Structure 1
Amino acid sequence: MNGPEIQISFAPGLRLFVAADRRSGHTTVATDGSSSLGHVVESLGVPLTEAGRLLVDGRPVPPSHVPAAGETVDVEDVARPQQVPGAPLRFLLDVHLGTLTRRLRLLGVDAAYESEDIGDPALAALSAKERRVMLSRDRGLLRRRELWAGAYVYSDRPDDQLRDVLGRFAPRLAPWTRCTACNGPLAEADKDAVRDQLETGTENTYDVFARCTECDRVYWRGAHHARLEAIVTEAVREFGGAAAL
């Protein structure tokens, strides 16, 4: 780009996306005189899913705004909690976010997951078809125009990933109501109805069961329940909901 020059600055939370020489204060960027501000922001490394308000000389403008010479641009962080209009809040996670997917489902959050790498175009199309927020650490995927909505997952640690998503979107939590394997709803199950799916030790030890209404997986308070309960309790304490099974 060698057209009109603008001054642009990125909020601290966005600076990991941009080159080191653009991480402090306003820096000069030459535009081509026809591309939108949204295109300019993404060309500098920031997915528009992560950009909040775009301010030109202090006034908000849409991503379609075409920058003019001498303008000063400030790119803000996404406001939290982020509102996702027009549909129930649902998520789609890519193949690299399996642990985050299971934890969201544990909390009763609708989280679809692709266990195989089906490719960015297919993921973006699925996000649009099912009106799901795409969660990914793939910046290229989040720049795809066909996405319905998306968000970058900033950490590679599941604890931090979960806290980030819950803080950003404030989904309604309903722990222990969703299958962690397939995302289907759980229903109480009589022991006699699931007896043929139980090992002898489980049958002799536990009496309270739930079963997925879609994949028939059976759940009970087994050896890993304390660890899962700790995840639920912490999430409910920080973000609200009902922790009881």
Structure 2
Amino acid sequence: MSAHAEPWAPAGALFDDTLAGLVGARARAWAARWFGAGKTIDIRVCDGARCAGPPSGATTWESLEPGLVLALDPRAHTPIACWMLGLDTGTRVLKEAEQKLFQDLACTTAQDFIRDVAGVFSLGPDTRERGAYRHGRDDIALNVSIGAASNVLNLYALRPRAIKARLDAIGPRSPRAAPKHRDDAIRRQPIRVGAMIGRGRMALSELCSLTVGDVIMLDRGHNDGMALTVDGQTKPDTICELRQDGSQLTLRLAQTEASTLS
């Protein structure tokens, strides 16, 4: 028997305020550095399957280590440059040389932005400019609005990177005292979901390492009965995924009741 862990997070974890807060903190520091105090930053997180891709003509950068792409809306060149120079962002007619200058200024600040936020996703600051980007359905998109200007910057993170950033925000667990008795050890386990196929048994050490989202494989037949236990009580209505892979049976805990994750 063996257990394999995969990057996983509860369904709504990537779309609560945590990930937006992590990126927002870096974004506010970035805005203060380039534009001075007083610029409001709003971060909207959405699933790649439900959001639009980068706008037409966007300039894009990517981290050297795969995982992060930033797109700058070309309509944001003028407001970004005006914020930097302390100019009025009202309607203005720009000469060709001014347009090029404003574009260069906006691109400089945008590239600095992706370098700043890369650390949230455990990536280094090195980036490179890339061509047109088409985001994936599994990407996590973070749309950055500055003041009244919406979606000035569009950040796209690979889902595993976003999950890691969200889990890292939880922080390390404090160590627990060693239990003196086996019953005491079982009562102290932080496990909220356990799985059993037929009469299979798991060693206590293997049970301790089990978390929601783990995949458990037992060398048993596909006709074995299946039952899930949550906090010691059988939950036959808990949804899971069961697959046959040759002689091995794979069980994935696909969905649990919300209370089991607390």
- TM-score under structure 1 normalisation? 0.23
- TM-score under structure 2 normalisation? 0.22
- The structure in which a higher percent of residues are strand is 2
- Structure with larger Rg: 2
